[in-house]
Amino acid sequence: MVALGIGIGVGLSRNKGGGGGPYEGYPLRLAQGATRGLVFNGRSTGYRRIGSRMGAYARVPLVNPVLDYANWGVNGSTFAEQSSGGTLTIAAAIEYPEGVFTQAKFGGATSGTGAAGTVISSDPTTGLTIPEGALFWVRSYAIFASNGLYLDKVCNPAMGDAMEHDASTLTNKTMGGTFVDEGTGFLYGPMAIKTPHKRAVFYHIGDSRNQGTSDTKDSSLDLGEISRTIGEKYAYVSDGIAGDRAFAYLASGASRTAIGTDGTVPGGSTYQVGVTHVICEYGINDQRPDLGRTLAQLQADWLSIWGSFLTRKVYQTTMPPYCESGSNTVSTTNGVRTAANDWLRDGAPISGGVAVAVGTAGATRAGQAGHPLTGYFEVADVVESSRNSGLWKTPTPAYTTDFIHETQAGNLAIKSSKVIDPAIP
């Protein structure tokens, strides 16, 4: 198996490019080239017009970038995928350097329209090159026929993010004008910002810990367990939906799976995001006392999710504690969490495609032929008081304040521990 975590050396083969640069051995393809690809979790009829300015960092040289806008998202209450319910007309520009605007075209026109459930791709933004590592902004103007879409908790006004909305009269500021952020934390923008390249692209799927619910925004623009580590070097799309769970993803995750596989969404669009690595953070909500999923159910759900991305390298994170009492006390379902984590640590052994007990001789383990998982990341040990204790570490500043989600300090501890360190290639 490939076990990635604290104290485990795996001989990672990253940074093999000429002159010590990033590894560039993946196929040349049109692929996500920046941080902060968005998957929406909010929908409202009062947001039928949205204007936004979204910051991102180029993680490869962005040459003639292409913007992808999704006319679908995830219901933040039921966790089922949903479209906006009608057409989307989108206009956009890329702001780089600050104060200089390059208009995106759609089939040669200044705006593009797509049906509910589809993805609208711009033409290549000819003549624009954004250097690797540079901060830039995408300015969007969306007119929804039915319901507007957005992502909550991620807007970072200190870094130039802003979102405005109304139902019918908002004006287009893509090529100039000052956005005045509304202070809701909501943000709108493209699902992908693409350019031809040969480097790794990451796709993170999971819940509020992936989204960064209790994180604090800073100049990195990254939030949560995974993006804070991956975003420092690599392009990514993050699907972090607060409250989501593995079994809900399996019930309604076709469009999100298509992001990771360059597949076709139910609305008919075929993605080209160029994902090479998928990191799954799902699991902690499944074992919550109010849901009561068993170990066997969670294992089966994990195996099904991992198997959805068989042509990609797939990793799973171990789960930090979940203390539903609101204090640092052991959960009544801690046994499910610890058993699931220990199964991951043993390489998620399977036989005949079904989970088997830890220590089973002759079982197929992560990283071996026939197993859908490439490896795991030992996140839990970074923030848990001791392995399987069910309690959080209590440093200053605190790793958690609600004993469910990591704070910025907790997520930075995960980043500095380097436990999320995928093999490249």
pLDDT tens, 258-298? 999 999 988 888 999 999 999 999 999 999 999 989 999 99
Could you give the percent of the chain with pLDDT greater than 90? 92
> Which of residues 130, 160, 192 is at a domain's end?
192
Domain co-membership, 225 together with 169:
no
Of 230, 317, 257, 269, which is closest to residue 3 (Cα–Cα)? 317
12: pLDDT strictly greater than 90: no
pLDDT of residue 19: 43
Name the pTM for this structure. Answer: 0.95
Domain co-membership, 51 together with 171:
yes
Domain co-membership, 213 together with 125:
no
Supply the DSSP string of 233-252, one letter for each residue: TSEEEEEE-TT--HHHHHHS
Domain that holds residue 410: 1-27+198-425
Check which CATH number belongs to the domain holding 372 and give it.
3.40.50.1110
> Which of residues 174, 192, 210 is at a domain's end?
192
Structural domain total, the chain: 2
Domain co-membership, 8 together with 119:
no
Confidence of residue 6 (pLDDT cuts 50, 70, 90): very low
Domain co-membership, 345 together with 210:
yes
pLDDT tens, 288-331? 999 989 999 999 999 999 999 989 999 999 999 999 999 999 99
Domain co-membership, 185 together with 254:
no
> Which of residues 192, 227, 256 is at a domain's end?
192
Q: Which two tokens stand for residue 284?
A: 């902690």
Domain co-membership, 151 together with 204:
no
Beta bridge partners of 72: 83
Computed over every residue of the chain, the mean pLDDT equals 94
pLDDT tens, 107-162? 999 999 999 999 999 999 999 999 999 999 999 999 999 999 999 999 999 999 99
The answer to whether residues 55 and 217 touch, using CB atoms and an 8 Å cutoff, is no
Domain co-membership, 52 together with 115:
yes
Q: Rounded CA gap, 238 and 138, in Å?
A: 17
